[in-house]
Amino acid sequence: MPNSTLPSRPSLEYLRKLAKDRLPDLRQSNPHAQLADALLAVARDHGFSSWRALKAEIDRRHGDLGFRWFEAVTRGDTDTVRALLREDPSLLHARQSRHDQTGLHIAASAGNLDIVRVLLDAGADPNDAGDDAGIGVIGWATFVGPPREIPSDVISLLLAKGGRHNIFSAIATGDPDVVRMLVEQHPDALDAQLPPRYHGQTPLHFAIARNQMGLLDLLIEVGADVDAVDGNGQTALEFAMLRGNGAAADRLRAAGARQPASRGAAPEGRTALAGLASSIQSATFVIGSHDVAATLAWYTSIGFAETARYPTDGSAVFWGMVRLGTAELTFDVREGANPRGAALLLATDRVQELYDLLGQRQLGTADVEFVRTLYEPEHGGLEFSIRDPNGFTLRFHQESH
């Protein structure tokens, strides 16, 4: 019979400490006893045949409760969030393995003021920057997720509770006073860079990506390095030219930005691009959706088979795929606010070469507008996208190996 039973939310670290405390007693009867012996003794005390079995049960219990927690936060279910916090206050600091975000990150990104208030009142850190992007809660509130209006009420509450802007969240708000104050207080903020998921953008690149021309002028005025490169090795001027943003390019040239070396489309450029045709493995329509989970449910209700969705951990689904016979459709909330937005996703195993060739053409002839330069999407791999003359988006994606 076990000497003790596990609580509903057991702590593995506490049980490890029990084992370490138990070890000296074991060594009195067996001088050769090791920590593994103490761990086994603790496991048996709790009715398990091995430490591994005990750990598996703890992982299962934490996983079940954690799933309910993140699901409730994502749904905006304040009653369940409060109830779960009463059951286990440590959930406040639980992190999803996918991006290391807490419930506060998720609620802030969704603009859910009620959940944000509940979590902050319970003691959540408004400056938690432990997420994988290192942009903090306020970064999630201002620019993570699909295009949307920034939730000013959430931002105000975070700031009232001691939250602090970083340079990218300040730019995302579009408030020049906030940007100027932040740079005055932290001049090195001008040298910050986002992670690969955001192209390794500098503040200048980020302002261009968000079409914040007034803030681009301000950043240049306060001393941003106009020739600093992003994660793709491109200066802000090259970035502006790739995106077909002539206004930003003119501002950077006027500020003394170095002109990219001439890389006009050589006669063999078309041939080189055609030579990569065999790298295209498939083409799938990507349809914009405000609610991917509901869209998947509708398609499966009429006979399509769901073949994939992301994420699968209880967070809001932002990507999914269905199939009917040999036809495949993909739904992506990130295709923009327009629910009728669509793109063509081209799977390739040579995305870098395609990116380089099309980038050279755009810098030379300015007829290949980039929607997004090369980056790492949340679900993995590498991707970039361009816009055709009709405004239609082509996305080139390579899976991770």
Measuring CA to CA, how many Å separate 382 from each of 45, 133, 349, 351, 390?
A: 49, 16, 10, 7, 25
Q: Where are the alpha helices (DSSP H) in 46-151?
A: 51-75, 78-87, 103-110, 113-121, 136-143
Place of tokens 């700031």: 159
Residue 40 lies in a domain: no
pLDDT value at residue 267 = 44
Half-sphere exposure of 385 (CA within 13 A, CB side): 17
Flag whether 178 is in a domain: yes
The answer to whether residues 331 and 245 belong to one domain is no
- Residue 335 per-residue DSSP state: G
Mark whether 252 and 277 lie in a shared domain.
no
Residue 195 placed within a domain:
yes
Structural domain includes residue 350:
yes
Boundary (domain end) residue, out of 198, 233, 260: 260
Q: Is the peptide bond before 311 cis (omega within 30 degrees of 0)?
A: yes
pLDDT reported for residue 338: 53
Sequence-separated (6 or more) residues with CB below 8 Å from residue 271: none
Instruction: Please give the structure tokens belonging to residue 166.
Output: 């970083």
Domain of residue 207: give its range. Answer: 174-260
298 plus 334 within the same structural domain: yes
The answer to whether 317 touches 364, Cβ cutoff 8 Å, is: no
Q: Are residues 220 and 274 in the same domain?
A: no
Q: How far, in Å, CA of 11 to CA of 15, rounded?
A: 6
300 and 252, same domain (yes or no):
no
316 and 232 inside one domain: no
Q: Is 135 in contact with 166 (CB distance < 8 Å)?
A: yes
Q: What is the pTM of this model?
A: 0.74
The Cα 360–Cα 363 span in angstroms is 5
Residues 305, 379 within the same domain: yes
Residue whose entry in the numeric block shows the structure tokens 């006073």? 177
Q: 386 and 280 in one domain?
A: yes
Residues 301 and 355 in one domain: yes
> For residue 214, what is the domain's CATH number?
1.25.40.20
**Which pLDDT does position 270 carry in this prediction?**
62
Secondary structure class of 322 (helix, strand, coil): strand
From CA 316, how far away is CA 312, in angstroms rounded? 9
Q: Which of residues 260, 294, 329 is at a domain's end?
A: 260
Taking phi over 0 as left and psi of -120 to 50 as alpha, with beta for the rest, 233 belongs to left
Sign of the torsion angle spanned by Cα atoms 84, 85, 91, 93 = positive
* DSSP-based three-state secondary structure for 259: coil
Give the count of domains, the chain: 2
Residue 43 neighbours by CB distance under 10 Å: 21
Residue 273: CB atoms within 10 Å? 16
In a domain, residue 36? The reply is no
Whether residue 190 lies inside any domain: the answer is yes
The conformation of residue 349, written as its DSSP 8-state character, comes to: S
pLDDT at 60: 67
| 8 Å CB contact between 386 and 368 | yes
Q: What span, in angstroms and rounded, lies between the C-alpha atoms of 335 and 318?
A: 10
204 near 214, Cβ under 8 Å? no
Q: Is 80 domain-assigned? A: no
- pLDDT tens string for the chain (401 positions)? 345 567 655 667 778 888 888 888 888 888 888 888 888 898 888 888 888 888 777 766 665 788 789 889 988 999 999 999 998 898 999 887 668 889 999 999 989 999 999 999 999 999 999 888 789 999 999 988 666 788 999 999 999 999 999 999 999 999 999 999 999 999 999 999 998 878 899 999 999 999 999 999 999 999 999 999 999 999 999 999 999 999 999 999 999 999 987 654 444 556 677 778 889 988 888 998 888 889 999 999 999 999 988 877 666 788 899 999 988 899 988 776 555 588 999 999 999 999 999 998 898 888 899 999 998 887 778 999 999 988 889 999 998 76
What CATH number corresponds to the domain at position 364?
A: 3.10.180.10
Report DSSP letters for 260-310, one per residue.
PPP----TTHHHHHHTTGGGEEEEEEEEE-S-HHHHHHHHHHTT-EEEEEE
C-alpha distances in angstroms, 329 versus 282, 371, 372?
12, 21, 22
Q: Are residues 274 and 391 in the same domain?
A: yes
Residues 186 and 294 in one domain: no
3-state secondary structure 191-204: HCCCCHHHCCCCHH
| DSSP 8-state secondary structure symbol assigned to residue 340 | T
The structure tokens listed for 350 are: 């040579």
Asked if residue 138 is part of any domain, the answer here is: no
* Calpha distance 384→373 (Å, rounded): 5
Asked which of 221, 241, 260 is the last residue of a domain, the reply is 260
Number of residues assigned to the chain: 401
SS3 call for 371:
strand
The kind and range of the H/E element at 324 are strand 319-324
Q: Do 198 and 301 belong together in one domain?
A: no
